[in-house]
């Protein structure tokens, strides 16, 4: 990524750089930190390969693990090619891309809107937390609040839909503090008029700082009970919250969990909510781990 080029200077919870090196360069390159270029023709080929098999879809989402709205990461040729393919797509009506807030500029937004015509554009930003310490010192996002607010204002002024990621389970936070941080952030974003808010739940990627902490019993992924609590809060308050998936590449060492006995049943409730937007609390099991979670949530447990 253009603004963070030194070893270790990436989001605390993310192993995407290592996973990308593994996928692109192969085994033995996970710790290779020199940059490399992807040919513009390769970007175009990837876009065409994906969209050639997308008949009937309504939404197209491009995840590039960074910022789509900058030539430093995605060449102009590839960006314009995606816009053209989307504009010509017979069924897709909305395109989503991601960006850091500092790249949300008028010229980039105007370029996109001019190219896609009457179709909709959504831009996602990984704010993760409204707390400056959690966001920048713990998670190492290095996103200023003013920069984020300016980006959201610009997107809304252009009539572009907004999508913001919120992180649950920052290292060093208790179960209670992680819950409160996520809840405050979601409420703040809802008040801003964010169109969609996505809850990203911490997991343990292989080979990173979190795995070391996890092996030392110094880090635990979020309780599934906590995720359900946030879903219920969102439902009751009318917050536009969705919950991201728990799988990733490379496959996580550990994901959001309870005690192991009730995990599958609770996961099914969360999966149903993902698929339908319905939260069926009556389907939840009674499990002995819930009192342990409740103690953690009132601060009487290290969480």
Which tens digits make up the pLDDT trace of 207-220? 878 899 999 999 99
Six token digits for residue 78: 């590839």
| E strands, the chain, in order | 59-61, 94-98, 120-128, 161-168, 196-201, 241-243
**CB neighbours of 124 closer than 8 A, spacing ≥ 6?**
96, 97, 98, 99, 163, 164, 165, 198
Residue 11 confidence class, pLDDT cut points 50, 70, 90: low
161-189 as b/e, with b when 16 or more CB fall inside 10 Å? bbbbbbbbbbbebebbebbebbbebbbbb
β-strand pairing of 94-98 with 59-61? parallel
- Measured CA to CA, the distance from residue 97 to residue 247 in angstroms comes to 20
Asked which of 11-20, 129-138, 196-205, 207-216 is least confident by mean pLDDT, the reply is 11-20
Six token digits for residue 287: 């499990």
* Residues facing 98 on adjacent strands: 124
The backbone torsions φ and ψ at residue 120, rounded to the nearest 5 degrees and listed phi first, read: -95, 150
The backbone torsions φ and ψ at residue 66, rounded to the nearest 5 degrees and listed phi first, read: -175, -130
Q: What is the pTM of this model?
A: 0.90
Six token digits for residue 82: 């995606």
Residue 303 confidence class, pLDDT cut points 50, 70, 90: very low
Note whether 72 and 104 are within 8 A (CB). Answer: no
Six token digits for residue 225: 């009970």
Does 166 score more than 60 pLDDT? yes
Does 155 score more than 90 pLDDT? yes
Local structure of 204: helix, strand or coil: strand
What is the arithmetic mean of pLDDT over 254-271? 97
Note whether 70 and 25 are within 8 A (CB). Answer: no
79-102 pLDDT, tens digit each = 999 999 999 999 999 999 999 999
């Amino acid at each position: 990524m253009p603004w963070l080029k030194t070893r270790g200077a990436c989001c605390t919870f993310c192993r995407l750089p290592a996973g990308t090196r593994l996928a692109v360069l192969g085994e033995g390159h996970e710790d290779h930190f020199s940059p490399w270029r992807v040919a513009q023709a390769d970007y175009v080929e990837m876009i065409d390969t994906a969209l050639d098999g997308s008949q009937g879809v309504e939404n197209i989402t491009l995840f590039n693990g960074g910022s789509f709205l900058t030539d430093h990461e995605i060449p102009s040729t590839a960006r314009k090619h995606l816009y053209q393919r989307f504009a010509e797509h017979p069924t897709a009506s909305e395109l989503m891309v991601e960006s850091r807030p500092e790249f949300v500029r008028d010229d980039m937004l105007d370029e996109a809107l001019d190219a896609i015509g009457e179709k909709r554009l959504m831009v996602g930003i990984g704010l993760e937390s409204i707390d400056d310490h959690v966001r920048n010192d713990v998670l190492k996002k290095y996103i200023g609040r003013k920069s984020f607010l300016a980006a959201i204002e610009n997107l809304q002024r252009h009539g572009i839909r907004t999508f913001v990621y919120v992180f649950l389970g920052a290292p060093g936070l208790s179960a209670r503090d992680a819950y409160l941080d996520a809840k405050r952030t979601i409420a703040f974003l809802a008040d801003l008029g964010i169109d969609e808010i996505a809850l990203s739940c911490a997991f343990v990627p292989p080979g990173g700082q979190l795995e070391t902490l996890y092996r030392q019993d110094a880090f635990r992924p979020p309780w599934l009970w906590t995720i359900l609590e946030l879903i219920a809060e969102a439902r009751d308050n009318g917050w536009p919250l969705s919950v991201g998936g728990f799988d990733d590449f490379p496959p996580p060492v550990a994901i959001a969990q309870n005690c192991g006995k009730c995990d599958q049943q609770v996961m099914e409730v969360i999966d149903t909510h993902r698929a339908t937007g319905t939260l069926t609390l009556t389907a939840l099991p009674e499990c002995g781990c819930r009192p342990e979670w409740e103690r953690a949530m009132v601060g009487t447990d290290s969480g």
